[in-house]
Amino acid sequence: MNRKYFAILSALILIAFAGCQPTIEDFPVSNGNADFTRYVALGNSLTAGYADGALYKSAQANSYPAILARQFAKVGGGAFVQPVVDNEIGLFGNKRILGYATDCKGVTSLSPVLAEGTPVGLPGALAPVGYPVQNLGVPGAKAAHLIFPGYGNPAGLLTQPPSANPYFVRFASSATTSVLADAMAQNPTFFSLWIGNNDVLGYALAGGENNVGESITSMDVFNFAYNTLVETLTSGGAKGVVANIPDITSIPFFNTVPAMGLVLTEEQAAQLNGAYAQVENYIRTVVGIPNFSYGISFKAGVNPFVVEDRNFPYPLPKAFRVRQAKPGELILLTVPQDSLKCAGMGTFSLEKQRPYGIPQNFVLDEEEVQNIKTAVANMNATIKNLADQKGLAFVDVATLLESAKTGLVYDGITFSTTFVTGGIFSLDGVHMNQRGAAIVANAFIEAINKKYGASIPKADITAYPGIVFP
């Protein structure tokens, strides 16, 4: 062989191979037997994209329905419009970011702090967006709110109690419409429905976004509302996906401050025992309740906090009606940390020389926890039954978050339900952060793929931001 030709041949082979990127067959996308042309999302704050205590621009842009719609677009999904909040502080403010806070003891530590900046505020926050939206998530909404005509009526904001919701006022097509009616007006081919969380948590999340209603929704009302929602949404032949309600113990708002979180030295325990003995003695001798005892004793190490007792058996002033927290009782994230650290809340007020129980509005006691668990179980049964009856995809968010308690790993990142560092929840301890929203969106996709024989690509969780560290 001629050397020259050999060299040319060599060069050609090199060029032919060296330039080539190995190709892997494409992911086989398919919509299965569902049609994503017109997708509408119904739900509460979780659906709206609420995070860090506010509905703000970037979190809304990456709400789980927005992420879903982005993935649906790969299998024939159409446009998905949200009622855009063009402000990073949010509609009404109160947004939290991770910063530094100095506590009553002068210790500065990493902590959620109020974000600086100006929210949209009133009246702009109530101005109608002026276009139909496909994300009909309304922060604060319970199941029955979604079928309630007038929930978007501005006049309803002024009644006592309010009969309208400012978030729906922004995008309601009329003063008399309902969230459901606005969804149906778009003739949806596919819907997602994640509602019910507020029906249970509304009264427990004092100080949260929900200030309407104080009790757990009755099952009659919930069943009627949920049934109406599913019947109506499927009436035009649309397919859809529904999700259930997570257990409160998997939400940082309820699992961050442990009821058994009082850590004492031997000396501190002795001091507290002495203080309580004095109070008991005072009640026995001065108030005149013979044999009175709190039945409280402190020991070195981990102790339960002292909490206000609403079933206290003796007619004493409120401040004296206390007991130790029981295992399984929950203390809310909003409990005043400075009072806990420096004023004796949860133990004994040195200043006032009397017991200082954690106030009831920061505690979910045994009975309340049980009420919530029962209600969640009942509502979840309704959701699952209706999903099965109507042949809808079903997302078991409760089980997902339950397994997240011990850690869920995606793409090398370990997620958990721990506040801040767990990586799923935002700084309000109730709503997901954007990365958490992607995890939820993928759970929705998994359920839809399974139910409808679809092959919708999952979202890249790592592409969505988690909590921003300073």
Partner 1 sequence: MRKSLFNLLLLMLASTSLMAGGYQVRLQGARQTGMGLTGTALKSGASDIFYNPGSLSFLGKKFELNLGGNAIISKISFRDLESDYTAKTDNPVSPPFFVYGAGKITDKLVMGLGVYTPYGSKTVWPDDWKGRYLIQNIGLRAYYLQPTLSYQLSDKFGIGAGFVYMYGKADIQKALPYNDATANLSGSATAMGFNLGLFFKATDKINLGINYRSKIDVELTEGDATFDIPTSISTILPTNNKFSASLPMPANLDFGVSIQATDKLLLSLELNWVMWGVYDTLTFTFKEKGELLNSKNPRLYSDSFIPRLGIEYNASQKLTLRAGAYYDKTPTNKDYFNPETVSLNTMAFTFGFTYKPTDNLKVDFSFAQLFGQEMERAYTPANFSGKYKSSASIPGLGITYSF
Enumerate binding residues for partner 1 (CB under 8 A): 1, 3-4, 6-8, 10-11, 13-15, 17-27, 29, 74, 98, 100, 110, 409-413, 423, 457-460, 462-463, 466, 468-470
Q: Which residue's CB is nearer to partner 1, number 110 or number 377?
A: 110
Min dist. Cβ of residue 467 to partner 1 (A): 9
Secondary structure element (H or E) that encloses residue 13, with its range: helix 3-18
Burial of residue 114 (CB within 10 Å: 0-12, 13-18, 19+) is: middle
Q: Which residue's CB is nearer to partner 1, number 23 or number 406?
A: 23
Chain-centre distance for alpha carbon 452: 27
Min dist. Cβ of residue 337 to partner 1 (A): 18
Min dist. Cβ of residue 18 to partner 1 (A): 4
CB 448 within 8 A of CB 34: yes
CB 290 within 8 A of CB 366: no
Q: Which residue's CB is nearer to partner 1, number 195 or number 420?
A: 420
Min dist. Cβ of residue 3 to partner 1 (A): 6
Q: Which residue's CB is nearer to partner 1, number 232 or number 433?
A: 433
**DSSP one-letter code for 188:** -
Q: Which residue's CB is nearer to partner 1, number 106 or number 123?
A: 106
Q: Which residue's CB is nearer to partner 1, number 317 or number 470?
A: 470
Min dist. Cβ of residue 38 to partner 1 (A): 23
CB 143 within 8 A of CB 226: yes
Q: CA–CA separation, 418 vs 401, rounded Å?
A: 11
Mapped onto helix, strand or coil, the DSSP state of residue 416 is strand
Q: Which residue's CB is nearer to partner 1, number 183 or number 427?
A: 427
Q: Which residue's CB is nearer to partner 1, number 28 or number 313?
A: 28
Q: Which residue's CB is nearer to partner 1, number 13 or number 155?
A: 13
Cα distance between the two ends of the chain: 68
Q: CA–CA separation, 8 vs 1, rounded Å?
A: 12
CB 167 within 8 A of CB 48: yes
Cα-trace Rg, the chain: 27
Min dist. Cβ of residue 464 to partner 1 (A): 12
What token pair was written down for 64? 């789980």
- CA quadruple 47, 49, 55, 60: dihedral sign: negative
Min dist. Cβ of residue 15 to partner 1 (A): 7
Q: Which residue's CB is nearer to partner 1, number 25 or number 220?
A: 25
CB 443 within 8 A of CB 435: no
Min dist. Cβ of residue 73 to partner 1 (A): 11
For 120-174, give the DSSP string.
Answer: --TTGGGS---S--SEEE-TT--TGGGG-TTTT-GGGGSSSS--S-HHHHHH-SS
Q: CA–CA separation, 457 vs 195, rounded Å?
A: 25
Min dist. Cβ of residue 112 to partner 1 (A): 12
Min dist. Cβ of residue 459 to partner 1 (A): 7
Q: CA–CA separation, 317 vs 46, rounded Å?
A: 41
What token pair was written down for 455? 């092959």
**Which residues touch 462 (CB under 8 Å, ≥6 apart)?**
410, 411, 413, 435
